[in-house]
Every structure is written in C-alpha cells, then in structure tokens.
Amino acid sequence: MASLAVAKGDELFLYSFPEPHPLNRLRLERFYSLLSMDEKLLKRVEFVKPVLAGPAEVELFHTEGYVRFVQEKSRQGYGYLDYGDTPAFPGCYEAAAYVVGTTIELLKTILNSRHVRAFNPMGGLHHARRDRAGGFCIFNDAAVAIEYLLRTERIGNVAYVDIDAHHGDGVCYDFYSNERVIFADIHQDGRTLYPGTGFRNETGEGRARGTKLNIPLMPFSGDEEFMKAFDEVLSFLERFSFDFVLFQTGADGLRDDPLTSLQYSPEAHMYAAKALKQLAEEKCGGRVLAMGGGGYNPDNVARAWKAVVEALAENGAHG
C-alpha cells in the first residue's frame, strides 16, 4: 500500500490569481513535474482526485454571510475579497471550495485508514478568517479541517504546526481560546512581514493559555535557526496528547522567495516533516495531514514540497 496520499487534479489549478499575482498555477505545476521525475518515490504515493466542498462543509468554519459574499464576488469576477491582497476572479468560490473539499477528503482517507498520511499541496490557506479573506486566502481549509475533526469526528485534540514564513493568523486567533487546538508556528518576525502578528507572548487565552506557541525569526534566518526553533516546537508538542497532526508546509521561507527575507533550504522542510512524522507515530498512530501553503518562487516550492513528500512517504511503524 502506498504510504502517502497526494491530491492531484486540474481542479486544484483553478486556485490561481490573475497574472502578475504571485500565487498562480505555475508553482503547483513545477511541484508535480519534479515529483513525476522520481519513479521510486512515485511508487510510495497514491494520487487522490480533488473534491468540491459543499457550503455546509465550508461553513464548519466560515460564516454563512462570508460564504455568500464570496459566491457573489465569484459571479461578478472582479474587485477584491479583502483590502487589496486577494482579488476576486470568475469562479473563485469553486476554486476555494475545491481546496477545502480536497483537504477534507484527505482527512477522511486517513480517518477510515486507507492512508496514514496525506498531502494537499494547494491547501494550507491559513490567513482566511471566519468572516473574511486575507493574504491570498479565500477559505481556510486548515481551519475547516480542525472544525471537522473536533466537531464532526469528535476527535479529542488536534496539533497544528505551521512553518510558512507568514504567521498563521487565521488558525491562531480563531482558535485562540480553544484548548483542544495545540498550535505551533515558526515564521518571520511580525514587525517585518505580513500579517504583523505571532509574537512570543501570544500563547492562547482562558483555558487555552499555554496551548499556542509562536516563534518569530529575524529576517535572514536560515536552516540553523529554523531547526533550533523546530526542536522547541517538538518539545512543546511532547507535553500534550493529541489525535491528529495538521502540518502547514509553506515554502516561502526558502532563500530567494520574492515576498519574504528568510533563507531556509529544502533541508528545513525535510527536517520538520521527518520529525513530525516520528512524533505522530508516538502520539497518534502516525496520522499526519500536510498542506502546502505559501511559496512564490516555483523552484523553491517544488523542492521544499518534494522533500515533504519524501519524508512522509517513508514507511513507518504505522505504514
């Protein structure tokens, strides 16, 4: 049995803003093309077709009013969904709903034991909030996945780990007082990058105090700083019990990304993915769902996500 399910299909390319926007289909194409050159690795991967989410699934996280707003803008096909980062385009509702549906489909293949681990390269749209778009993100598939696990599947705790160069504000703040969401995020310091948040002292509130870990890194930090920070993430996670790992693998922290100033290599992604896979083996039967996220240098995206696939497709105690 293939150890890793990877989402693949033309529907995922629909999530592509009009040129010259940095989030376009080129990055995903480059990733699949690099993956397709490695025949040995392909044997350990099973491709899963994208699935369209219905409004009820999207509304596990988002408000009904916001979902209607996106549907309307999608029909109009112009203007912005937020204050200027996230343009509307014809069919943007369906494009975003495919990302959500595909992430949920992959969760299901793990929950029904068809696969232990899965990867949706188009997922990880971590800036969208319950009632608004933000930072190129229309619907937050990672946040919908959390709600699905906690409410629909009645899973106990979920660990969410985010290594995108930008802080995962849409997950952090919309679950800030939820102690069942164990959140760890390494990103470029908020004083120097969008969305300007994710400071050390932001650790959750009320009963959830201490369940959120934010590690900002200074601009120009590289693999060494990343790995040290990731070791801190691992010791943080060790203190909790959880039943599922969600992993946002944004590749915009690699050197020469046009939007950020971090300087990781794909080794950072390999290191994080291997360590999380092992931690998941110890904690939750190996269950990891990885999602892509940002990354605006297509070659970086391809190499970072191929490293994630390599690490997660490795056979472990649980397959």
CA 10 to chain centre: 19
The values of phi and psi at residue 5, to 5°, are: -95, 130
The amino acid at residue 257 is D
Q: Which two tokens stand for residue 174?
A: 């919309």
Compute the least distance from the CB of residue 166 to Zn ion, in Å. 4
Compute the least distance from the CB of residue 31 to Zn ion, in Å. 16
Rounded CA-CA distance 156/125 in Å is 23
| Interface with Zn ion, residue 223, by CB under 5 A | no
Element spanning 68, H or E = helix 64-76
| Interface with Zn ion, residue 250, by CB under 5 A | yes
| Interface with Zn ion, residue 166, by CB under 5 A | yes
Question: Which C-beta is closer to Zn ion: that of 79 or that of 258?
Answer: 258
- Contact stretch for Zn ion (CB under 5 A) within 84-92, 138-146, 159-167, 266-274: 159-167
Q: Which two tokens stand for residue 252?
A: 């915009």
Rounded CA-CA distance 235/21 in Å is 38
| Interface with Zn ion, residue 126, by CB under 5 A | no
> Please, what is the end-to-end C-alpha distance for the chain in angstroms?
8
Element spanning 184, H or E = strand 181-188
| Interface with Zn ion, residue 253, by CB under 5 A | no
Q: Tell me which of 46, 147, 202, 252 binds Zn ion, using CB under 5 A.
A: 252
Q: Tell me which of 101, 134, 195, 294 binds Zn ion, using CB under 5 A.
A: 294
| Interface with Zn ion, residue 164, by CB under 5 A | yes
Compute the least distance from the CB of residue 257 to Zn ion, in Å. 9
**Which residues of this protein are in contact with Zn ion, per CB under 5 A?**
164-166, 250, 252, 294
